[in-house]
Amino acid sequence: MFLSTVVNFVRGASRRPLLSKYGPRNFYKGVGAHSVGKVDNKGRFRVDFTKITQYIVPDLNGFALKPYVSHAAPKTKVKPPTVDDYLALFRGPR
C-alpha cells in the first residue's frame, strides 16, 4: 500500500492525450459541435431549423456609437481602483 502510493506520487500525472481510448468506459469527448438536424431514411441530411441559433439584433439606425474602436483613438490613462473605491460601491461615499 505504502509503496504504491509513493510510486504514484513520483510518477506524476499521465502525459497521454485525453481521449476516449484512455478514459473510463462512458467517456466521450466530442468536438463541441451541436446537431442541427438528422439523416433521413434516404441518406440525406435534413436541417431542423428549430435547432439553429437565431440572434435577435435591434435596429441600430441613428445610434450614436459605432461597433468598433479605431486604432487612431487616443490612449486614456485610468487610475487603478483602490479598496476605498470598491467599498464606496457598497456603502456609498463617506
CA distance 49 to 17: 36
The answer to pTM > 0.85 is: no
CA 82/CA 89 separation, integer angstroms: 11
- Please report the pLDDT score of residue 22 as a whole number: 79
Coil, strand or helix at 35: coil
SS3 60: coil
Query: Which pLDDT belongs to residue 71?
Result: 86
Per-residue pLDDT at 12:
65
Amino acid, single-letter form, for residue 54? Q
Cα–Cα distance measured from residue 10 to residue 13, given in angstroms and rounded to the nearest whole number: 9
Mean pLDDT per 10-residue section of the chain, whose length is 94 residues? 65 72 81 87 94 88 82 86 85 67
**Residue 25 — left, alpha, or beta (φ > 0 → left; ψ -120 to 50 → alpha)?**
alpha
